[in-house]
Amino acid sequence: MALPAAFHDIAKRVNNWGRWGEDDEIGTLNLITDEVVRAAAGTVRRGLRVPLALELKEDGVQTGMIPGRVNPLHVMVQVNQELFGPGTVATSDDAVTFGLQAATHWDALTHASHSGRIYNGRPASSITPHGRSAFSGIHTARHVVSRGVLLDVARAKGLDRLPGNHAVTPEDLDEAAEFGRVTVGAGDVVLVRTGQVRQYLAGDKHGYGYPSPGLSVRTPEWFHARDVAAVANDTLTFEIFPPEIEDLWLPVHALDLVEMGMLQGQNWNLEELSTACAQEERYAFLLSAMPEPFVGGTGTPVAPVAVL
Amino acid sequence: MALPAAFHDIAKRVNNWGRWGEDDEIGTLNLITDEVVRAAAGTVRRGLRVPLALELKEDGVQTGMIPGRVNPLHVMVQVNQELFGPGTVATSDDAVTFGLQAATHWDALTHASHSGRIYNGRPASSITPHGRSAFSGIHTARHVVSRGVLLDVARAKGLDRLPGNHAVTPEDLDEAAEFGRVTVGAGDVVLVRTGQVRQYLAGDKHGYGYPSPGLSVRTPEWFHARDVAAVANDTLTFEIFPPEIEDLWLPVHALDLVEMGMLQGQNWNLEELSTACAQEERYAFLLSAMPEPFVGGTGTPVAPVAVL
Amino acid sequence: MALPAAFHDIAKRVNNWGRWGEDDEIGTLNLITDEVVRAAAGTVRRGLRVPLALELKEDGVQTGMIPGRVNPLHVMVQVNQELFGPGTVATSDDAVTFGLQAATHWDALTHASHSGRIYNGRPASSITPHGRSAFSGIHTARHVVSRGVLLDVARAKGLDRLPGNHAVTPEDLDEAAEFGRVTVGAGDVVLVRTGQVRQYLAGDKHGYGYPSPGLSVRTPEWFHARDVAAVANDTLTFEIFPPEIEDLWLPVHALDLVEMGMLQGQNWNLEELSTACAQEERYAFLLSAMPEPFVGGTGTPVAPVAVL
Amino acid sequence: MALPAAFHDIAKRVNNWGRWGEDDEIGTLNLITDEVVRAAAGTVRRGLRVPLALELKEDGVQTGMIPGRVNPLHVMVQVNQELFGPGTVATSDDAVTFGLQAATHWDALTHASHSGRIYNGRPASSITPHGRSAFSGIHTARHVVSRGVLLDVARAKGLDRLPGNHAVTPEDLDEAAEFGRVTVGAGDVVLVRTGQVRQYLAGDKHGYGYPSPGLSVRTPEWFHARDVAAVANDTLTFEIFPPEIEDLWLPVHALDLVEMGMLQGQNWNLEELSTACAQEERYAFLLSAMPEPFVGGTGTPVAPVAVL
């Protein structure tokens, strides 16, 4: 079964292969220039910091549906251990096992492939079980600091949370931008709020994952037209799930990661930010969302922070 | 064996227990006010971003000396897996096992205890093998964004790297501040460069860990006097190792974490930042160094970034 | 809340502390003598081998109810890796993270403590987060090879599976021994079949764990009277769950492990063995159920085999 | 670079593909018949049990040379936890992360491939990063109980340990069999002692791994001629390392696992067994060496026991 012609049409329009040279590994992160970052720092008015990561814990987001993407098993390896003898200073240490995409995370460009290719036309076979990904590993995305823009689609519609079958369209993004009186521009990291994470926060893990509102297959063109650097939202699957087009699974992943070379973020908690932006009446801010530099990683946990 | 009187004298002088109320769990992070962050954003002139984390990989910093503090075992759990059938979009996923303090990290306030106490006078026994730490877990340090200041002690002395037996003293910190024409103030996150991480980067892991230059037992008073919010450096042990005073192990840990309630960072790569600050002739910048919110964690990997 | 007098009465009657010296760490395993093993070898008539372990896999027995007791996360770290160059012999390797008690396992004597004590009167505090258990770690149980006896309680009653509220009593054990025309003796490893594991094998993990038939608080005396070396069964909790006596949780664990110093096995798959014993009309056999020697482990996965 | 003609010649002579049908997944384990096991039980005279596994611990065999094959990180997830309230019975639990081939283990038939094939001519590509090996996973080797034979090559030569450059030849095996007055036959599991594990037991991990005595490329024919079911020894690499023939790496792995379909065991501690067999003047015994049934595993930890 091949991907349908409709997919390939969009793919062609948003494709960035070669745009930053054939050696490029980071795609649209190239759009975050010093100038963009300077402007981002200029958006800070109050100095308010809003963290966007979900807690990392054994009873976390994952339900076992995705094999190997395990919640953190977080264990103590030392507890008040007096390493240098009784009565000395004691230390405690911990270790963890978890899926890099288990909670709030960035997908690396290598997280998805289609038709045997990853971003910039490299063979998907460059991702191996050992050595991990030879190109575009998450450690190559050295820094993600830019202007962040919240497109609060749910709030713009007067909803706490979009319904499970709602595909967020370009029109929805326009509406949210207008609601926030913000213009999305080159190098921006766009955060799209659906409110879906409220399901998880309220204790309904299964309801959180499925069915889920998410980005429509029509959104990559919208992001491409504005030269957005990265996009994150508050869902498990990023794109609407189950998909809009029967038997076309994960098309947004393929378009964003493979064709455009644009990082995607999932399971971001945008609730506190939604409140803060509404109160401040500002939807643009400085965003720092640094990848943990796992060499060759196809994803990374991230603890993003918005500074308003 | 009890801690010596000399230790307790300093402890009394830097103690912050109760300063932010008996319920406080975050200590000197309270000193990072909105105003400090606004000022930090104001230091951004070029928009340059300098990442400060070491790569996360199996062949990482740890040598096995500290039981349980293991380098990342980073594995693929899916490689180009066509989850929805042949010819569909494929995905790759990875998982990891590692010590939270294995590479570039923050110690939580709970990482150290002495005389049966952790920060704010709580019992050390509140750290347990299950449930982890009941108070001051790393997830309570919700955001670390502030003004960063690089005190480049090595460069100020015209050295690539301090000798292994060099205890960084208050006088050294003054010298480096003067060298950088910067005044350390309330809420600052201070980065102290010894150059020691060059040993690791050059492939000498054992030489990196021991013997190691690091902070003197006299520095906590210096940080306390200036109301510093957090301190990080480019060594494995943070403080000089082996210690300055015979049989007084980890006194700086005890003073910073337990008495002051001040986060410590270790294994930060300050080499690129050293070059950038020297070129820019500026040693203050916006620093984002967000903890990963492991619930009850006594430490966290961190991917800090300086924005100049 | 202290344990009730009724518990302490039984405890006194089955207590083995000091019986094999104050330095003993292995309890009733001392009852497996060379003579017992010779006799066990003599029970082999057909040479049939019946494995008793459940498969180890991510979708295993655990449901998340017991924190930290995680199903195997089994990952490949090398896949057909040509370590010595293209065209050379390739190798594949895997790694795993799991709870030692996650699937078919032995509890070490240290798995339970009560009133601050473990087997042989040692302090429970000898079990620590680092260094694990100083005494009676599973590695001290160097070999478990003996005569195995299947007490097929379910089959003796003409049932596939005992009801969830059925506490297996001494009378039930007598009935099953009579059914199998077998006399339980000193050094035997007794396998008690309830049929409960059929729930797990049929896909109902939650129903498998709760409610569950299991051993009655009255059985330790029965085992003690016969000088049994170890007992295993085909349930998650070993003893009936929820318990027979309100607010008296895990009394069988406390009596078997702490007082008697007798290994307990859980999640053993006795279905194939039940069929084999019925066909052979023999309920005694050679049993090998070797612990994996995790130093200081409070449990161990085990792959037992009955040889008939 | 292809494998040399000399290799292919031997391969042809020892090949067992199709011998037990095209659906067979277990190779020479088919040779362990009920009759062999009956005879094995008959070798038990004293009832002595000798365990053959090395301790599982963080400071174990692995040195980091083989990526991903990590020593056990063994951690406590519960320590004397009173799950049902203060004063109730407490429990302790542990978890572990380790390479399945990290210590005493069996290689599954899938551990090696050459020329794109695994045992029985199946494609090497049937081993995948997810789902692991579709055929001949270690769980298909349901039971390994048979007659064990110790060929004590070192003792037969009057040595504690063979030199690092000693390839154990068919002549050495004959000599050891004669020394032990034992005839290797169909279905036997042969244990070949080099004494090399003494290096590890004495604390020299690096010396243990390299250089190492081990089986010669000429031994597979010897095992094949006798219809041996499996072979294990007391080295890290099983075969002599570095290899006898320049640039022909791991030929014994390829011949045993791929061509013959014969399990290989490594890192077995044969020291205590060597002493016992010498004392008993018997070199054949009952051996139980049960794989842990990791579904699709390409190896397994094993805790073997010899019963004499």
Question: Looking at beta carbons, which residues of chain D come within 8 Å of B81?
Answer: 129-130
User: pLDDT of B160-202, one tens digit each?
Assistant: 999 999 999 999 999 999 999 999 999 999 999 999 999 999 9
CA distance B287 to chain A (A): 10
Q: Which residue of A42, A80, A129 is in closest CB contact with B124?
A: A80
Residue B87 has a pLDDT of 87
Residue B2 pLDDT more than 80? no
Residue C131 pLDDT more than 90? no
Q: Which residue of A95, A97, A129 is in closest CB contact with D129?
A: A129
User: pLDDT of D174-196, one tens digit each?
Assistant: 999 999 999 999 999 999 999 99
Question: Looking at beta carbons, which residues of chain C come within 8 Å of A78?
Answer: 129-130
Residue D143 pLDDT more than 90? yes
CA distance B181 to chain C (A): 46
Determine the residue of chain C that is closest to D76 in CA distance: C129
pLDDT tier for residue D63 given thresholds of 50, 70 and 90: very high
User: Could you tell me the pTM of the whole model?
Assistant: 0.94
CA distance A283 to chain D (A): 42
Residue A131 has a pLDDT of 67
Residue C152 pLDDT more than 80? yes
Residue A87 has a pLDDT of 87
Question: Looking at beta carbons, which residues of chain B come within 8 Å of C74?
Answer: none
- Mean pLDDT in residue range C30-52: 98
The residue ranking higher by pLDDT, C138 or B64, is C138
What is the rounded distance in angstroms from the CA atom of residue C92 to the CA atom of residue C78?
A: 5
Fold for B5-65+100-307, please state it: Glucose Oxidase; domain 1 (3.50.30)
What is the rounded distance in angstroms from the CA atom of residue A44 to the CA atom of residue D153?
A: 76
Task: For chain A, give the percent of residues with pLDDT over 90.
Answer: 91
Residue C1 has a pLDDT of 58
Residue D1 pLDDT more than 70? no
Residue A3 has a pLDDT of 87
pLDDT tier for residue B1 given thresholds of 50, 70 and 90: low
Q: CB contact, 8 Å: A82 with chain C?
A: no
- Say which amino acid occupies B235: T
- Mean pLDDT in residue range C231-254: 95
Residue D95 has a pLDDT of 94
CA distance D185 to chain C (A): 17
pLDDT tier for residue D7 given thresholds of 50, 70 and 90: very high
- Mean pLDDT in residue range C288-295: 98
Query: Minimal CA–CA distance to D40: which of D281, D226, D288, D233?
Result: D288
Residue D247 has a pLDDT of 85
Residue D255 has a pLDDT of 98
Residue C253 has a pLDDT of 98
What is the rounded distance in angstroms from the CA atom of residue C106 to the CA atom of residue C144?
A: 10
User: pLDDT of B58-113, one tens digit each?
Assistant: 999 999 888 899 999 999 999 999 988 888 999 999 999 999 999 999 999 999 99
Within 13 A of C45's CA, how many CA atoms are on the CB side? 9
Residue C100 pLDDT more than 80? yes
H or E stretch at C150: strand C145-152
- Mean pLDDT in residue range A33-38: 98
Residue A98 has a pLDDT of 96
User: pLDDT of B245-300, one tens digit each?
Assistant: 988 999 999 999 999 999 999 999 999 999 999 999 999 999 999 999 999 999 99
Q: Which residue of B81, B128, B129 is in closest CB contact with D130?
A: B81
E strand spans, chain A:
49-51, 73-81, 90-99, 105-107, 112-113, 145-152, 167-168, 189-193, 214-215, 230-233, 263-266, 284-288, 299-301, 305-307
pLDDT tier for residue D131 given thresholds of 50, 70 and 90: low
Determine the residue of chain B that is closest to A73 in CA distance: B97
User: pLDDT of C163-208, one tens digit each?
Assistant: 999 999 999 999 999 999 999 999 999 999 999 999 999 999 999 9
Residue A281 has a pLDDT of 97
pLDDT tier for residue D241 given thresholds of 50, 70 and 90: very high
B 141-200 near D (Cβ less than 8 A) = none
Contacts of A233 (CB under 8 A, 6+ apart): A191, A192, A193, A194, A214, A215, A265, A266, A268, A270
CB pairs < 8 Å spanning A and B: 311
**Paired tokens of C288:** 């090998």
Question: Looking at beta carbons, which residues of chain D come within 8 Å of B68?
Answer: 58, 73, 75
Q: Is A266 helix (H, G, I), strand (E, B) or coil?
A: strand
Q: CB contact, 8 Å: A97 with chain D?
A: yes
Residue C3 pLDDT more than 90? no
**Paired tokens of D107:** 């290689």
Q: Are C84 and D250 in contact (CB under 8 A)?
A: yes
Ramachandran bin of B258, using left for φ above 0, alpha for ψ from -120 to 50, beta for the remaining angles: alpha
What is the rounded distance in angstroms from the CA atom of residue B147 to the CA atom of residue A99?
A: 32
Residue D132 has a pLDDT of 73
B 277-296 near A (Cβ less than 8 A) = 286, 288, 290-296
Q: Is A246 helix (H, G, I), strand (E, B) or coil?
A: coil
Q: CB contact, 8 Å: D202 with chain A?
A: no
